[in-house]
Amino acid sequence: MIGRRAWLGLASGVSAAGMVGTLGTWPGVAAALAGPAPDSAFGFAPDRVPMNAANLCPMPSAIGAAVARFAAELDRDMSAGNRRRVEGFKETARAGIARQLGVDADEVAIVRNTSEANGIVVQGLELAAGDEVLLWDQNHPSNHLAWRVRARRDGFTVREFPVPAHAASIDEVVDAVTAALTPGTRVVSFTHVSNVTGFRMPAAEICAALRARAPSLFIHVDGAQTWGARAADLRAMGCDSFSGSAHKWYLGPRETGMLYVRADRQDEVAATVVSIPWGGDVTPEVTGARRYEALGQRDDAAIAALAETVAWHDALTPAAVERASSAVAERLREGVEDLGLPLVSNGHPDFRSSVVILRAGDGARRRLPELILEDAGVIAAATGGLRFSPHVYNTPAHVDRVLAALARHRDLLG
């Protein structure tokens, strides 16, 4: 059976901190996400199976229920005391996210999504004519076009670098990035895992090589396809800032996200929105990265439920979530290879991710997700080709349904 070895390998060494005995195989992971009601771990319809985590994940039913519960609690009692109680969960979420990512709570802002987090870095850094911003050509528009829009206003230069799609070594990739540096480069910004190819950048090696050549460089990493998908230690990665959306792989409430800015670089990144709870003076009264979330009234129920999402990840452990997500992606990749269908995504172990993209011509690309939905009851995307981004809620049976549909439509692929 396809991907069997990887799948069975999950069964070892995973503990759910008392929520369920042993995790590792679905529905074990999903069961732990749901708590005592494994059958309702996720609420998606059997013929509408999401395999599009790179875009949007379903919340575990328990997290959806937490959003609704906190919202009802606020509507029932809007007194200052009750609002403060619910808002207080933001600090719980912040502390947990920071701990999971290996950084300090004062370095993490709770924002609305990756676009906003990227936007704070794009707009907040001081840049002028003569300065250069260097971007991976696969960056998302919020980390690519956004720089160009700002550059037109402020007169700095934006350049991009490609990375060999079929790179076979980390050195090859690191060299492609460092070769693009010029004496004027002030910022390098790249996506950890590309949403258009699934290519996973060797972020720690890139950051180390860039720092060795230009110690004062500001390095931003877009973690939209990383946070919740892979266990990450941002201190070890060595970036200056990192962004993510909880509604993707982190399985959290919609319109919640995070921005990490390293403590000693925060004075270089100005806040772009100043409102409550900044304080009453020009100097922010809030500490550290909280300056980036002075956005006025927020969806406090969603943010409180984000704190519960943190607890689920703690119980599962980010490493187990990564193993479960990677195993289902591996099963899909192997099945696609067995069918002889061409992949856009680099399959090298150093560069692969849970974002698996098949080559599809422009015309077919738009039709294919509809055909896959009709045939397999699985939701894919037309980004970069025919894109599947499976996560912990996907089963071997979902993958096999996709593979059967791909075999039927193989004439449209390639």
> How far, in Å, CA of 74 to CA of 84, rounded?
10
Give which of 222, 216, 261 is closest to 135, Cα–Cα.
222
> How far, in Å, CA of 207 to CA of 214, rounded?
10
Rounded to a whole number of angstroms, the minimum distance from the CB of residue 232 to ligand PLP is 14
Q: Which is nearer to ligand PLP, 142 or 309 (CB)?
A: 142
Cβ count within 10 A of residue 268 = 18
Q: Which is nearer to ligand PLP, 140 or 401 (CB)?
A: 140
Element (H, E) at 86: helix 80-87
Give which of 174, 188, 195 is closest to 136, Cα–Cα.
188
Q: What does the binding site for ligand PLP look like in residue numbers (CB under 6 A)?
A: 54-55, 113-115, 140, 142, 191, 195, 222, 224-225, 245
Q: Which is nearer to ligand PLP, 100 or 142 (CB)?
A: 142
Rounded to a whole number of angstroms, the minimum distance from the CB of residue 253 to ligand PLP is 12
Q: Which is nearer to ligand PLP, 195 or 325 (CB)?
A: 195
Rounded to a whole number of angstroms, the minimum distance from the CB of residue 389 to ligand PLP is 10
Rounded to a whole number of angstroms, the minimum distance from the CB of residue 88 to ligand PLP is 25
CA 129 to chain centre: 32
> How far, in Å, CA of 202 to CA of 190, rounded?
11
Rounded to a whole number of angstroms, the minimum distance from the CB of residue 251 to ligand PLP is 13
Q: Which is nearer to ligand PLP, 60 or 244 (CB)?
A: 244
> How far, in Å, CA of 251 to CA of 329, rounded?
17
Q: Which is nearer to ligand PLP, 140 or 323 (CB)?
A: 140
Rounded to a whole number of angstroms, the minimum distance from the CB of residue 142 to ligand PLP is 5
Alpha helices in 77-156 (DSSP H): 80-87, 89-101, 114-124, 145-154
Q: Are 222 and 140 in contact (CB under 8 A)?
A: yes
Rounded to the nearest 10°, the torsion over CA 30, 31, 35, 40 is 80
Q: Which two tokens stand for residue 139?
A: 């960056």
Rounded to a whole number of angstroms, the minimum distance from the CB of residue 356 to ligand PLP is 15
Q: Which is nearer to ligand PLP, 193 or 360 (CB)?
A: 193
